[in-house]
């Protein structure tokens, strides 16, 4: 077996054999296949696609490159959620303790932000003392004692994916649906959860800009999970507008705590409850009532225990940025559009995100929104506040915002897109 013959097969729109897939993933993980060769193969896959059999074998080969976790010793059924990423997507933070409060165990392996999309671990690291990296033994202990854990995946989990993901990021092949699907599902299947709910974002602030692409990705991942014995369902959710009223690390933690305390923006509450119901149903806990667990404080109790179990102080003050800049409405009327991508780029430029994986992030940086589409605004009214420790970043961030919103004349009718657009099972 050699890399060139594998590349040529996919370049010429052929179907890779199971033996070719097993060999190239293993050889790339060991360093026998060079980065430039895997880059060529990834581009061929982007351009020519893979069928269901190929994607399933590719995913299985990436799982086989590392360890598999086992939660059989837990007394609760396990269920997990994965989001394809967006702007203001803090849903994991209130969702994991909420589902745990309803009787499930939630092993949430999360990642960091890159570019305009935020990362769950970056958000939680704004809590003083909180640790993202814990051992498998610690993870099981936190799950057993609190019902939920949010942490970084260990190096032993699908190492082939970790190496390939970094390569895709610098070779223009991130958008390849077979590679997105296998990347996500190799980690989730290796994680060992019994059920999985996928939150596939669609819109300007998502990787999938169209409903057709989001549907294809969701269907591919649901098939991969189902074929591997994991009960899997996907929701296609809107990412044309930022979720909630914040985009940034500590800002989003603060908003998540508001939701757990019984408040918070309605779209965040609605999506959290929709995903919670899907997770509990998939775990066989159909009679659980997540709305009650949110209202009676039991979800907040799990949050506090979960944060404390990883060294965090749930009562500590969250970081705030040293400088703010207010963006005001340029006219009066009805706000009809607030672009998620533009807001995400502004938050990233303020210091909330990173251009490279090794870049630091500012805990307090980001964008705070004061209006959402459908709201009536007046000229000069604050639309958003920019937060950063480095005021020289304001000009660069503001360049992302001139076309970020539309205001129509007063009285204009407006019908927002639903938060959940489709369900695929």
Q: Flag whether pLDDT at 407 surpasses 90.
A: yes
CB 133, CB 260: distance < 8 Å: no
Structure confidence at residue 112 (pLDDT)? 83
Structure confidence at residue 153 (pLDDT)? 85
Q: Of 10-19, 239-248, 348-357, where does mean pLDDT reach its minimum?
A: 348-357
CA atoms of 55 and 224, how far apart (whole Å): 8
Catalytic residue among 57, 187, 201, 231: 187
Structure confidence at residue 357 (pLDDT)? 67
Average pLDDT over residues 171-175: 86
Q: Flag whether pLDDT at 48 surpasses 90.
A: yes
Residues 323-408: name the CATH superfamily.
Pyrimidine nucleoside phosphorylase-like, C-terminal domain (3.90.1170.30)
Report, in this order, helix, strand and coil percent for the chain, each rounded to 5. 45, 15, 40
| DSSP label at residue 392 | G
Confidence label for 12 from pLDDT (cuts 50, 70 and 90): very high
Active site residue 168: yes
Which of 140, 191, 139, 137 has the alpha carbon at shortest distance from 161? 191
Across the chain, mean pLDDT equals 95
Confidence label for 155 from pLDDT (cuts 50, 70 and 90): confident
Structure confidence at residue 36 (pLDDT)? 96
Active site residue 133: no
CA atoms of 98 and 292, how far apart (whole Å): 10
How many other CB atoms are found less than 10 A from the CB of residue 131?
16
Task: Tell me the CATH number for domain 80-309.
Answer: 3.40.1030.10
Structure confidence at residue 169 (pLDDT)? 76
Q: Flag whether pLDDT at 73 surpasses 70.
A: yes
* E strand or H helix at 282: helix 266-282
Active site residue 183: yes
Structure confidence at residue 323 (pLDDT)? 98
The token pair at 133 is 């990296």
Q: Flag whether pLDDT at 400 surpasses 70.
A: yes
Confidence label for 356 from pLDDT (cuts 50, 70 and 90): confident
Which of 309, 307, 295, 234 has the alpha carbon at shortest distance from 263? 295
Q: Domain spans of the chain?
A: 3-49, 80-309, 323-408
Confidence label for 116 from pLDDT (cuts 50, 70 and 90): confident
Catalytic residue among 10, 57, 81, 82: 82
Active site residue 231: no
Q: Flag whether pLDDT at 180 surpasses 70.
A: yes
Structure confidence at residue 104 (pLDDT)? 97
How many alpha carbons fall within 13 Å on the CB side of residue 85?
A: 21
**Span 304-343, pLDDT tens digits:** 999 999 999 999 999 999 999 999 999 999 999 999 999 9
Active site residue 313: no
Catalytic residue among 65, 182, 183, 240: 183
Structure confidence at residue 117 (pLDDT)? 84
Strand partners, 405: 338
Catalytic residue among 168, 201, 231, 349: 168
- Fold match, 3-49 / 80-309: no
Q: Flag whether pLDDT at 252 surpasses 90.
A: yes
CA atoms of 360 and 18, how far apart (whole Å): 40
Threshold 0.85, pTM exceeds? yes
Confidence label for 355 from pLDDT (cuts 50, 70 and 90): confident
Strand partners, 105: 78
Q: Of 20-34, 133-147, 150-164, where does mean pLDDT reach its minimum?
A: 150-164
Q: What percent of the chain is modeled with pLDDT above 70? A: 100
Domain 3-49, what fold? 1.20.970
Catalytic residue among 80, 89, 161, 199: 161
- Each residue of 199-227: b (16+ CB within 10 Å) or e? bbbbbbbbbbbeeebbbebbbbbbbbbeb
């Amino acid at each position: 077996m050699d890399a060139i013959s594998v590349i040529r097969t996919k370049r010429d729109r052929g179907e890779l054999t199971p033996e070719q897939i097993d060999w190239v993933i293993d050889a790339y993980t060991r360093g026998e296949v060079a980065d430039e060769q895997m880059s060529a193969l990834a581009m061929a896959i982007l351009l020519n696609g893979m069928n269901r059999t190929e994607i399933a074998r590719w995913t299985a080969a990436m799982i086989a490159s590392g360890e598999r976790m086992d939660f059989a010793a837990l007394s609760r059924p396990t269920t997990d959620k994965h989001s394809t990423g967006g702007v203001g997507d803090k849903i994991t933070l209130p969702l994991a303790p909420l589902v745990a409060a309803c009787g499930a165990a939630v092993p949430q392996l999360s990642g960091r932000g890159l570019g305009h999309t935020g990362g769950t671990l970056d958000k939680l690291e704004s809590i003083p003392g909180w640790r993202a990296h814990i051992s498998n033994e610690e993870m099981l202990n936190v799950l057993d004692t609190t019902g939920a854990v949010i942490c970084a995946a260990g190096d032993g989990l699908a190492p082939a994916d970790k190496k390939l993901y970094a390569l895709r990021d610098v070779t223009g092949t991130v958008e390849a649906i077979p590679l997105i699907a296998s990347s996500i599902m190799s980690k989730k299947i290796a994680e060992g959860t019994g059920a999985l709910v996928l939150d596939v974002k669609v819109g300007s602030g998502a990787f999938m800009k169209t409903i057709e692409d989001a549907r294809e990705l969701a269907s591919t991942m649901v098939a991969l999970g189902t074929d591997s014995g994991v009960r899997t369902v996907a929701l296609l959710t809107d990412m044309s507008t930022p979720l909630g009223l914040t985009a940034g690390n500590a800002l989003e933690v603060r908003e998540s705590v508001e939701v757990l305390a019984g408040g918070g923006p309605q779209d965040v509450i609605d999506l959290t409850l929709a995903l919670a119901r899907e997770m509990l149903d998939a775990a066989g806990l159909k009679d659980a009532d997540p709305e009650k667990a949110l209202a009676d404080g039991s979800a907040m109790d799990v949050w506090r225990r979960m944060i404390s179990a990883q060294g965090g102080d749930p009562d500590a003050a969250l970081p705030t940025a040293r400088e703010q800049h207010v963006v005001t409405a340029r006219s009066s009327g009805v706000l009809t559009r607030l672009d998620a991508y533009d807001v995400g780029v502004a938050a990233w430029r303020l210091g909330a995100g990173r251009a490279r994986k090794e870049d630091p992030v500012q805990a307090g940086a980001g964008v705070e929104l004061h209006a959402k589409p459908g709201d009536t605004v007046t000229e000069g009214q604050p639309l958003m506040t920019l937060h950063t420790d480095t005021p020289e970043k304001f000009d660069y961030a503001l360049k992302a915002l001139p076309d970020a919103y539309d205001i129509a004349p007063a009285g204009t009718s407006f019908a927002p897109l639903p938060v959940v657009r489709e369900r695929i099972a």
